[in-house]
């Protein structure tokens, strides 16, 4: 078994935000491999998040951000389970970071589930038409359309987007990690992003 140094544990904690003991355990489980330990902790965070996903999250806060001398504005509602967490500085920081992310990345929906089925079907038809125009064999259209749909969803759904502070994580992964740390269900309920002069 690899000898786990305190500096390695500290580095893993800085990369994941998880407690020291959990970081040490992850490193032991993964024989000191940093990348495998990060993945191990992310999977544990996801598992913990799934257990909490059905718990009511009716507290939280509305946060806002104005960017570029008033050219872009974001308003977001982030929910949690208790008023104690809602008033916590780290929760406020999360809400603020989500505003910054939305301002920079311009998602249209919180998650795939929020997209009307008619919009999904319309986009599938567009991608299928593109595949036909490109002369792709009909037998591989489904594969092409599926790949393009996944890429499109990553562009328009907040939860699927790469986190603006760490492109190796998605927004959903970041939320799962925070859920694991706080022990509470946390979710983005809704947001709106305005672009000056934008035609709606």
Q: What is the pLDDT of residue 129?
A: 92
Q: Who has greater pLDDT, 182 or 78? A: 78
pLDDT at 195 over 60: yes
Percent with pLDDT over 90 in the chain: 49
Q: What is the pLDDT of residue 7?
A: 84
Q: What is the pLDDT of residue 51?
A: 57
Asked whether the CA dihedral 51, 16, 63, 89 is positive or negative, the reply is: positive
What DSSP assignment string belongs to the chain?
Answer: -PPPPHHHHHHHHHHH---HHHHHHHHHHTTT-HHHHHHHHHHHHHHHHHHHTTS---EEEEEEEEETTTTEEEEEEEEES-HHHHTSHHHHHHHHHHHHHHHHH--SBSSGGGS-HHHHHHHHHHHHHHHHHTT--GGGHHHHHHHHHHHHHHHHBGGGSEETTEEEEEHHHHHHHHHHHHSS--EEEEEEEEETT---
Question: Domains of the chain (ranges plus CATH)?
Answer: 6-52 (1.10.8.10), 59-110+157-195 (3.30.479.20), 116-155 (1.10.286.20)
Q: What is the pLDDT of residue 48?
A: 61
Confidence of residue 36 (pLDDT cuts 50, 70, 90): confident
How far from the centroid of its chain's Cα atoms is residue 189's Cα?
A: 13
Q: What is the pLDDT of residue 126?
A: 94
What DSSP assignment string belongs to 82-112?
Answer: -HHHHTSHHHHHHHHHHHHHHHHH--SBSSG
pLDDT tens string 81-132: 888 888 889 899 999 999 999 999 999 999 999 999 999 999 999 999 998 8
**Neighbour-count burial of 12, counting CB atoms closer than 10 A to its CB (0-12 exposed, 13-18 middle, 19+ buried):** buried
HSE of 155, CA atoms in CB hemisphere, 13 A = 6
**22 and 45 Cβ atoms separated by less than 8 Å:** no
Confidence of residue 4 (pLDDT cuts 50, 70, 90): confident
Mean pLDDT computed over every residue of the chain: 87
Q: Which residues lie closer than 8 Å to 71 by C-beta, 6 or more apart?
A: 195, 196
Q: What is the pLDDT of residue 9?
A: 82
pLDDT at 146 over 60: yes
Q: What is the pLDDT of residue 49?
A: 57
Q: What is the pLDDT of residue 188?
A: 96
pLDDT at 155 over 90: yes
């Amino acid at each position: 078994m690899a000898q786990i140094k305190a500096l390695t544990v500290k580095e893993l904690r800085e990369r994941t935000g998880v407690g020291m003991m959990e970081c040490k355990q992850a490193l032991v489980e993964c024989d000191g491999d940093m990348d495998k330990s990060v993945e191990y902790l992310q999977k544990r965070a996801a598992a913990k998040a799934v257990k909490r996903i059905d718990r009511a999250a009716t507290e939280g806060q509305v946060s806002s951000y104005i960017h570029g001398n008033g050219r872009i504005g974001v308003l977001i509602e982030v929910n949690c389970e208790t008023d104690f967490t809602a008033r916590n500085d780290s929760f406020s920081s999360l809400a603020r970071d989500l505003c910054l992310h939305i301002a920079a990345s311009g998602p249209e929906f919180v998650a795939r589930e929020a997209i009307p089925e008619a919009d999904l079907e319309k986009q599938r038809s567009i991608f299928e038409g593109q595949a036909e125009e490109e002369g792709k064999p009909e037998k591989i259209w489904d594969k092409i359309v599926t790949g393009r749909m996944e890429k499109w969803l990553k562009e328009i759904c907040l939860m699927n987007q790469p986190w603006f502070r760490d492109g190796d994580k998605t927004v959903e992964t970041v939320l799962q990690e925070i859920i694991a740390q706080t022990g509470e269900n946390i979710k983005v309920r809704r947001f709106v992003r305005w672009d000056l002069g934008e035609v709606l």
